[in-house]
Chain A
Amino acid sequence: MQNFDNISEFQLDAFREIGTIGAGNGATALSQLMNRKIGMTVPAIKILPFSKVPEEVGGPEIPVTGIITTVEGPAPCNILFLFPINSARFLVDKLLGSDDIVNENISDMGKSALSELVNIVTGAYLNSLASFTKLQFTPSVPALAIDMAGAILDTVLAQIGIAGDHALLLQTVFTETEENVTGHFFLLPEAGSLEKILQSIGVKG
């Protein structure tokens, strides 16, 4: 059973620090891609029971664009990017033009562009994580769904659910201040991965 009871404050701080550097790289990549100023919050680490996770993004019924990347390697993780629908539309508009938003729906090309954007940000994040830890992180092709936040989260949480009842989230919010575009970035380590990452940088309990 993995409920993260045995993780110390010191270990969480170390993990948060790695996350901050990774998110910084991600924000830089996003900024270059969009040619805009991108801000980010200092990553928050939260250990929550599954039923409370949807509240982090405004409740289980809120429609969102969710893009998930599964990360294989010695410390497997899941990375989930959640955009409010309006933010997703804005990004598609900036990347491709408004032809790819018809009746408020995002075209397949638009979805593909969003996935690619997430791929680049996630890649920048993982590169920094890999160079810090000397561990290998191999991301999958991102998969996208536009639906209720709860429905997207439960698929992601099922992946880690076999080992425990709590999710450890490393959450960063990326913002584009002029247009109020936000994206929630979640890193969810699978069972045992957090320990591996901490060990690799020499942090003990």
Chain B
Amino acid sequence: MAKIVKIGMADLNVATPPDVLQTCGLGSCVGVCLWDNVTKVGGMAHVMLPSSGQGKSGNDAKFADTAIPWLIDEMRKLGADRLRLTAKIAGGAQMFSFYSENDIMKIGDRNVEAVKTVLAQFKIRITAQDTGGNYGRTIEFYPESNKLYIRTINLGEKFV
């Protein structure tokens, strides 16, 4: 029986087929899915902020620059090879439209940029991306097939 592994806000986890990784209600956060095409080990992180910067918060899953290295480590424990990893990313929306002078509105874009930068540092290629816009997304990642399922309230659902 396939199990659904739920990932909360500022959280990450790994799975192997037939299990599925799921995170609900991504807004400005970015869902990062990594996959090894040989071992079919999959991993997902629900990244909330771009960079851990100076502040140490205790939760490395929250920031792009600490979550991705940690996710890679967890996947290697299940036999994944870092050099084979590819990525699919979704989220990074701007939920509220008429803010002024406030960083909160740009947090989605900044999250996406930070995730891409960190993936590039690890030489991980992005094979699919569904980011931006002004709507929330629920995502499910299938390590069996490397399919990423994306559901929205007003814009239907799709696989990428």
Contacts and interface: CB of A to CB of B under 8 A. Distances in A.
B partners with A:
yes
B41 interface: no
Interface residues of A, number: 37
Contacts of A141: 98, 100
B55 A161 contact: no
Contacts of B55: 1, 162-163
Main secondary structure of the interface of A (DSSP, over half): mixed
B21 interface: no
A161 B27 contact: no
Contacts of B53: 162
Main secondary structure of the interface of B (DSSP, over half): loop
A161 B99 contact: no
B69 interface: no
Interface stretch (B32-40, B77-85, B112-120, B132-140): B132-140
Interface residues of B, number: 36
Nearest to A156: B104
A185 B12 CA distance: 29
B56 to A, nearest CB: 7
A126 interface: no
Given A157-B9, A162-B57, A164-B57, A151 B136 contact: yes
Nearest to B135: A147
A157 B48 contact: yes
Interface in B13-60: 24-29, 48-49, 53, 55-59
B96 A144 contact: yes
B75 interface: no
Nearest to B58: A1
B126 interface: no
Interface of B: 8-11, 24-29, 48-49, 53, 55-59, 62, 93, 95-100, 102, 104, 107-108, 134-138, 153
13 contacts: A1-B56, A3-B58, A50-B48, A51-B11, A54-B24, A148-B27, A148-B138, A148-B153, A150-B25, A150-B138, A151-B137, A157-B48, A165-B57
